[in-house]
Structure formats: structure tokens, C-alpha cells
Structure 1
Amino acid sequence: MNAVNWGPATGIGSMPGGDAREAARTVTGSLEEFPYLAELPARGPGADMIGRTAGMLVELYARVEPSGWRIGDRPGRDTRRAKAWLGEDLDALEEFTQGYEGPVKVQAVGPWTLAAALELKNGEAVLSDPGACRDLAGSLAEGLRDHLADVRRRIPGAQIVLQLDEPSLMSVLRGHIKTASEYRTHRAVDRQLVESTLREVIGVHGGDRGGSAVVHSCAPDVPFALLRRAGADAVSFDFSLLTERDDEAIGEAVEAGTKLFVGVVPGVDSPLSDPAGSVMGVRTLWRRLGLNPGSLAESVVVTPSCGLAGASPAYSRAVLAHCARAARSLADNPE
């Protein structure tokens, strides 16, 4: 486990609206101990999670088609737009983190969700071609190296945490990703290949490179053990989707030193309970697993259940502040 000074609470990635400075002000003001680089998909193609990450690729380019993002021959307007918006978001975060020292999280789509979402020239997903999957993972790894180096230059005091978003991971493993015709599904990808590819991409920052990486999925049945073997220092998930069949994997993860980013607050406008109530289920899980309550604050980072793009600006501000208060409650009263 890498020795990052994890903060008690953070966000997932997306925020409502299209004002980069306002988003950065909200994130850094509400999450003083663990800010993150906000994503603003309401701005349109290139600000969405797939387009943003496609803009980071090296020697691979993508453009918007009616069916989604498709690999092209050369960088075009859509690639330039994605890069410009990422630069705007980085400028804003840099402005509001002057002199900051501590963890900062940045997000990108992981190799398997990206392979399921990006199309080849024939309209089928990159996932349909093993060679294309390898090329995509390699391009993503190179792009992330450049991106992380840029963040380090802009925020010299940052302990950078790389988050890979993999909401489609279990669908890839189970062969549930539909073909372009939607009449069939792509073949399930071998678990060892999924794991080794994730390890390659995580390795640009985590592992021997000394950085820290978290894999996020807001889908059910998060493969905790696979992600740990692939080198993830932390796993981020929607706590409401857990079932007791996840207990063993979570217990093993905690005992191995894996950090848990628990999504306990709804990502869309909803009534907020008191902060202690939001993390009551986490305390219950700890008791059920027989884990030491004193390890809660060390093992858990409190987050919303998913991104906040669908929330109102007022609710998004309230949620991030609520997560910070819930984390303090967990630390002050672990039992």
C-alpha cells in the first residue's frame, strides 16, 4: 500500500454546470483535505467522461458520431475541444490550490470501459478486437503519464491519486456489452487479461512508481479481489449496492490495506440525513465483519454514491460538505 496521506472525504468526478472556476472553488472549499479535478459534462461532447479521456490518448484520436465516440485518423475539432476543456479545468484547479500540500485526485476512464465505449471505424466497439484493445491501453497509459506530469507541475505539493472509472468492467467480464446491431453481445474477456491490462495502466502511476491509484465503479458486483491484484490501492463503489456476498472480499481488502471509497450519499438531489446517519451502514458492516472499529477512519474515504453531474449546484455543494462532516463523524465515533 502506498503511503499517500489520504483525506477523509472526496468526490467522484463530475459536477453540474459549465463554470470551471466555480466547480474548482466548490471542490477545494468543501473538501479542503482531499480535493479533486472536477469534470463538467454539461458543456457537451469532449467534457463527458469518454470524450475527456479520449482527448488524453497518444497517437489515437476520436471524433463524435451519432452513435458515440469513434476512432479516427487524425486529431480534429472534437479532440481539440476535449483538450481545451481539460486545460481550462486544470487552470481552475491550479488557481485554487496555490500552496496546497496533500492528496489531489484526478480521474480518467479505465481501459475496459473505454474499450466498451469507443468505436472502431467499422462501428463496432474497440472491445471486439483484442489487438485494438492492446493499442488502446498502451495509448491510454502514455496519455496518463503526460497528464499526471502536467498536474505535478501545476500543483507541486500534490500527492496525486489517479482514479480509473470502470463502470462497465463487470459487463466486460460477463460478456454483456452489446454489439453495434444490439442483437448480440461481445464475447466475455478473460479475467487474467482484464487484470493484466488494468495493472499496466495503473502501473503508470501506482506500484513501483510510488503513486496511488483507485478504481471506481458505481455498478453492482465490484470485483474487489481482481482490482487488488491489479494494483489498485483503493476501490471506490456505491455502498448501497453491496450485499452480504461482498463481505468476504471487502474483509480481505481491508485486512490487506486496501482503502475503501464508500459512496454513501445520493448523487442526485435527495433529502440528506444527519452526517452520522449517512455512515451508520459502514459501522454496521465493520461490526458484521468483526473488524476493529478503530481502523474505520484509516480504511474509509467518504464520497457521494456517484458523480454529481445530474445534481443541482446547491445540492452538489451540500453533498460535498456533508461527506466531509460524515467522515469526521466516522473518525470521532467509530462505534
Structure 2
Amino acid sequence: MDESRNGSRNEPVTASPTEPATRVWGAATGIGSMPGGDARETAKAVSGSFEDFPHLPELPARGPGADMIGRTAGLLVEVYARVEPSGWRIGDRPGRDTKRAWSWMGEDLDALEEFTRGYEGPVKVQAVGPWTLAASLELRNGESALSDPGACRDLTGSLVEGLTAHLAEVRRRVPGAVPVLQIDEPSLTAVLRGHVRSASGYRTHRAVDRQVVESALREVTALSEGTAVIHSCAPDVPFALLRRAGAAAVSFDFGLLTERDEDIIGEAVEGGTKLFAGIVPGTDGPLSDPAGSVMGVRTLWRRLGLNPGTLAESVVLTPSCGLAGASPAYARAAMAHCVRAARSLVDNPE
């Protein structure tokens, strides 16, 4: 039961006394989405689990406007979207779905502010990136915005303006926060390879030039320079492109790595890029010993010839993807598991 509903004092998150308030990275955090629909209860659970790196939870179970596309569409400036049977479609004015997205974001920020009172340190917020947004939003004719280069540019500009205001609001509500912007791009590889299907389903949209992709991403990462994270839980994450686009960290499902990714990851780490390694499944299942969960990370470090002493400072541990599809009990266990696994990296780097 939420004690604060019965008048008990809420326990705010506090910065660790052994770390400076301006630290940028914590040892473990979440991806973003969580099960259920209670913003306060979820914010309490997240801030209590990830004491040195809380994030703004997303609750897609509430319905359209709380899902990742609708939530980010609600942040756009002078671009509005509504739900159609085929998905989210750009419209002329804010309708019920946009207003619902605004309302839920307000609830989520209220809850974040309440349970991070007095906290100083990194706070992560998430938004869909320009290319997954373009692949997911429909134009008025029903075709993906990805089909129109001008629409893609407009979406990027609107997203940058909206995220600027959003980050400022987070700073206002949590004065001690060091905002960390996570840019969700699960469709990025499909965009680069020309695998995004048209409205008819009989063809795919042309692959977008890599320089164009990189340029748009750079506009967004510049909003959180030095702290921007680009996340994808899809296979074949383009690590090198994301680094060039200004990502200070790359978030990915560690279980999807292949041998061809390893040298690129080694170069990224040596170049100062942080790795947000997804080591815990995003849906219910058995959880191994926390130390065993990071065995693959340790093995990769040794195989790449990297200094074991840099492991804990180079890696942030997360679930493999969002936890919206998990049970509340499993979600809490998964967060605690990430924290304990991160502690094992610090205590036993070898």
C-alpha cells in the first residue's frame, strides 16, 4: 500500500554521500516503461530502486497517449497527432488523444517531483527519436512520414523544440537533477536498411541516407550534450553511427550482441562511450544470481583486452528493454536485480 495516501511522509531520493551531486551516470537504471497505471506508485518504486539514477517512468497500459509514440507526439510543438485504426496520424489541431498525452505527462512529472524531492544527481527521461517517430507517424494521406523528407525535417525540428521545453521542465521540478536524455530508436536499423513497410504493405520505403540519419540524431543529442543516450533493443544496433551522432552512451540488449559487434564496442569504450547493457529480461521469468547475470559482460571485457578496472565506470546495467509487459512483482525484482548486479561489478571487477 502507498503509505503517502494515508498521510505518512514520503521518503525522497537522496544523493549518495560518497559521490558528487554533479555525477552524470549511476550504476543501474531502467529503460522507461513500467507495468500498471498508477504514476505515484510507480515513481515511488523506481526512485526507491534506482537511488542513484532514477528515471521518469512511462505507463503505456493507460492507453493511447501513454504509449511511446503518443507520449512523444504529445511533446511535439505545433505538430499534433490522433489515433486512427491504422495508428497515430498527424492532424491539424490537438484532439482528445493529444490532450490525454499532455495530462498523463503532467501526472508523471508530478510524481517524479514528489519522490525525488531533495535528490541531486542524474535523472533520465525518455523520448522516441526522430527516425522511429517518422516511421511510426502517418501523414494525412495515411502514408508514413518517413516517405516525405520534408516531413522528416519538420518532425525533427518540432521534436527538438518540444524536448528543449521538456528538459527545462524536469530541471525546474527537480532542481538538483542532471538530466540524461534517452532517445529511443527501435526502428532505426529498419530505416537504414529500407525495411519500413508502406501503408499498403506491398512495398518498403527507401533506405534513408546515413548522413541524413546522423544529422537528425545529432540535432537531438545536442540537447543533452555529454549525457545523451540512444537506445535500441533491436538486433544490429549501429554503434559507430550513434557515436558519430553524438551519443555519449548506447543502450542495447546485451543478449543480442554478435561477434561482429565486439570490435566496434571495444572502440566505443576506448573512445569514452558508456554502455547501457540490458542484462535482465523485460518479461517475467527466472532471475539468476546477480553476479552470474554480468558474467557475459566480464567475459566480453576480457576478450576485448579491456582493463577490468574500467568495467564498473564504463557500464550501466539495465533491463534488456522496457518492463511494460512484466508483472509489477517481476518489474520490482528486475530493478533490484540490476542494482545488485551493478554492485557486484564494483565489488569484484575481475
Normalising to structure 1: TM-score of the pair? 0.97
**3-state DSSP of counterpart to 1:163:** strand
1:138 maps to amino acid = G
| Alignment-derived partner of residue 281 in structure 2 | 266
Distance 2:23 2:214 in 1: 23
Are residues 1:186 and 2:213 paired? no
Distance 1:318 1:205 in 2: 30
| Alignment-derived partner of residue 9 in structure 2 | none
| Alignment-derived partner of residue 189 in structure 2 | 170
- Cα deviation, residue 248, structure 1: 1.1
For residues 106-145 of structure 1, the C-alpha deviation after alignment (integer angstroms, 9 at most, x for no partner) is 0000000000000000000000000000000000000000
- Please identify runs of 4+ aligned residues in structure 1 that moved more than 2 A: none
Are residues 1:106 and 2:125 paired? yes
| Alignment-derived partner of residue 221 in structure 2 | 202
2:35 maps to amino acid = P
Residue 27 of structure 1, aligned match among 43, 46, 57: 46
Residue 299 of structure 1, aligned match among 297, 311, 314: 314
Distance 1:102 1:95 in 2: 16
Alignment of 1:278-297 (within 5 A): 278-297=293-312
Residue 220 of structure 1, aligned match among 227, 232, 235: 235
Are residues 1:253 and 2:268 paired? yes
Identity of aligned residues (%): 81
Distance 1:239 1:21 in 2: 30
Contact 1:4 1:212 in 2 (8 A): no
Q: CA RMSD in A?
A: 0.7
1:228 maps to amino acid = R
| Alignment-derived partner of residue 328 in structure 1 | 343
Distance 1:202 1:67 in 2: 30
| Alignment-derived partner of residue 106 in structure 2 | 87
- Cα deviation, residue 4, structure 1: 4.5
Residue 73 of structure 1, aligned match among 87, 92, 96: 92
- Cα deviation, residue 89, structure 1: 0.4
**3-state DSSP of counterpart to 2:224:** coil
Distance 2:106 2:194 in 1: 36
2:76 maps to amino acid = L
- Cα deviation, residue 202, structure 1: 1.2
**3-state DSSP of counterpart to 2:236:** coil
Are residues 1:317 and 2:336 paired? no
Structure 2 segments unaligned to the other structure (5+ residues): 1-21
Normalising to structure 2: TM-score of the pair? 0.93
**Count of residues in correspondence between the two structures:** 329
Contact 1:145 1:205 in 2 (8 A): no
Distance 1:204 1:321 in 2: 30
Are residues 1:232 and 2:247 paired? yes
